[in-house]
């Protein structure tokens, strides 16, 4: 979070005071650092030097067009998991030949859109999906480039909601069934097999599970080559974790170093799909204190951001550091930071020790660049927040705050039927 720091007592994003951002665009507002986003992407590029590779940013982490176009301009590819994400990636300027399309439930229309766009690869997750891709490709008069997603049955040692590499998850094809699926794919006229895909989970804090999974995939690659498959890509997914509180995730260099020997031996182009590790620590959510309330022996700080703006604390019991925008000295207290939504689950922090915060104080919820706005909703008919991109001393609104009229878009009154 080095791009978010106090300067003369004011919390800044790069060289821009967050107080100035709030004055210009109100709260709640997501704020992103251009320097941090490009810095983490370039960190992957440096770590992968000497290996044929493609870093495909996972659009699901944060799909703001400004952020996407920034990464596309820097040379990144894109990992998409829906037709909507594909639409966004193309609109943002990503080269289709640098886009991979993953996801366990692609529709025929989404597959058709991907084939018409001529994306680099479809990552296929089941025998049933493989048959549909073949059907759609033959109807379009093309051959679909595919990689089969293999589930290596490795414990990623992360939150169960974001663990995807265990045999019991909905993702991928069991490692011991993969060879038969590849043989079936080779018999389909609409399929061109080009690679192997894996992704074992998100917010990974150890390299060893990824290395173990890659070893299992490497054995499969060698077996496939022995049967004549000319594989060009091994997609090792994403999932490298970030620091939210006191985690110590591996650096990009440590991550790649643990995998390099195996990847070099395979002689393929390696595809990575990082998302959180690129944008997570590059963003913060600005919010303002509305009220202070004491009841039931607990001190509540009610703010204008809520679970519809940042659902991670409610959904995962996730921790986000909370910093006063104006550095505060003096007494501290233990509080619950909660929002206005009519749910007891609407909290941003529980039993958090913070400075005594008066009404009107500005707060920043840190490490909110990934799965913050991307998972925001209109629950309680709340407009989604604004998004701002900062570059040095400059800042720009890259998504306006939704209006009440936006909430009604596409709806009809009963009298209009």
Give per-residue pLDDT as tens, 371-404.
Answer: 999 999 999 999 999 999 999 999 999 999 999 9
Q: Which fold has domain 34-278?
A: TIM Barrel (3.20.20)
Catalytic residue among 12, 13, 121, 342: 342
Residue range(s) in the chain whose domain bears CATH number 2.40.37.10:
4-31+280-407
153 has a pLDDT exceeding 80: no
Q: How far apart are CA 283 and CA 13, in angstroms?
A: 9
Residue 163: its pLDDT value, please? 43
List Cβ neighbours of 199 (8 Å cut-off, separation of 6 or more): 102, 149, 164, 165, 171, 172, 235, 236, 237, 238, 239, 273
6-10, 86-90, 168-172, range with the lowest pLDDT: 168-172
Residue range(s) in the chain whose domain bears CATH number 3.20.20.10:
34-278
242 has a pLDDT exceeding 70: yes
Mean pLDDT, the chain, integer: 93
Q: Is 342 a catalytic residue?
A: yes
Residue 173: its pLDDT value, please? 85
202 has a pLDDT exceeding 90: no
* Residue-wise pLDDT tens digits, 309-320: 999 999 999 999
158 has a pLDDT exceeding 50: no
Residue 376: its pLDDT value, please? 98
Per CATH, the architecture of 4-31+280-407 is what?
Answer: Beta Barrel (2.40)
204 has a pLDDT exceeding 90: no
Residue 213: its pLDDT value, please? 86
Residue 116: its pLDDT value, please? 98
Overall average pLDDT of the 172-191 stretch: 90
CB atoms near residue 8 (< 10 Å): 7
* Residue-wise pLDDT tens digits, 260-292: 999 999 999 999 999 999 999 999 999 999 999
Residue 152: its pLDDT value, please? 78
Share of the chain above pLDDT 90, in %: 83
Q: Are strands 269-272 and 191-197 parallel, antiparallel or unpaired?
A: unpaired
């Amino acid at each position: 979070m080095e791009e978010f720091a106090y300067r003369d007592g004011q919390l800044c994003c790069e060289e821009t005071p967050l107080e100035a951002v709030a004055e210009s665009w109100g709260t709640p507002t997501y704020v992103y650092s251009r320097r941090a986003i490009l810095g983490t992407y370039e960190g992957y590029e440096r770590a992968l030097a000497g290996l044929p590779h493609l870093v495909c940013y996972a659009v699901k982490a944060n799909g703001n067009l400004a952020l996407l176009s920034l990464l596309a301009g820097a040379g990144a590819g894109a990992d998409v998991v829906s037709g909507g994400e594909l639409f966004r990636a193309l609109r943002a300027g990503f080269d289709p030949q640098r886009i991979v399309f993953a996801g366990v439930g692609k529709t025929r229309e989404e597959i058709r859109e991907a084939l018409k766009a001529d994306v680099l690869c479809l990552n296929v997750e089941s025998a049933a999906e493989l048959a549909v891709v073949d059907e759609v490709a033959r109807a379009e008069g093309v051959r679909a480039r595919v990689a089969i997603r293999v589930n290596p049955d490795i414990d990623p040692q992360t939150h169960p909601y974001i663990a995807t590499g265990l045999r019991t998850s909905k993702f991928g094809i069991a490692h011991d069934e993969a060879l038969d699926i590849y043989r079936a794919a080779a018999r389909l006229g609409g399929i061109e097999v080009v690679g192997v895909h894996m992704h074992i989970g998100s917010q990974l804090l150890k390299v060893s599970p990824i290395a173990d999974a890659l070893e299992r995939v490497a054995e499969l690659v060698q077996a496939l080559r022995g049967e004549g498959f000319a594989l060009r890509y091994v997609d090792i997914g994403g999932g490298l974790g970030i620091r939210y509180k006191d985690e110590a995730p591996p650096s990009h260099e440590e991550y790649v170093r643990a995998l390099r020997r195996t990847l070099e031996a395979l002689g393929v182009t390696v595809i990575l799909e990082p998302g959180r590790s690129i944008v997570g620590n590059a963003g913060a959510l600005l919010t303002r204190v509305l009220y202070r309330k004491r009841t039931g022996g607990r001190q509540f700080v009610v703010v204008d951001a809520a679970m519809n703006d940042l659902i991670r604390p409610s959904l995962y019991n996730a921790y986000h550091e909370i910093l006063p925008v104006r550095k505060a000295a003096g007494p501290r207290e233990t509080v619950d930071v909660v929002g206005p939504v009519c749910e007891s689950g609407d909290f941003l922090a529980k039993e958090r020790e913070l400075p005594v915060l008066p009404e009107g104080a500005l707060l920043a919820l840190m490490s909110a660049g990934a799965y913050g706005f991307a998972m925001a909703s209109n629950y309680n008919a709340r407009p989604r927040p604004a998004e701002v991109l900062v570059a040095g001393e400059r800042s720009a609104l890259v998504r306006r705050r939704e209006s009440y009229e936006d909430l009604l878009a596409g709806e009809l009154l009963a009298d209009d039927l």
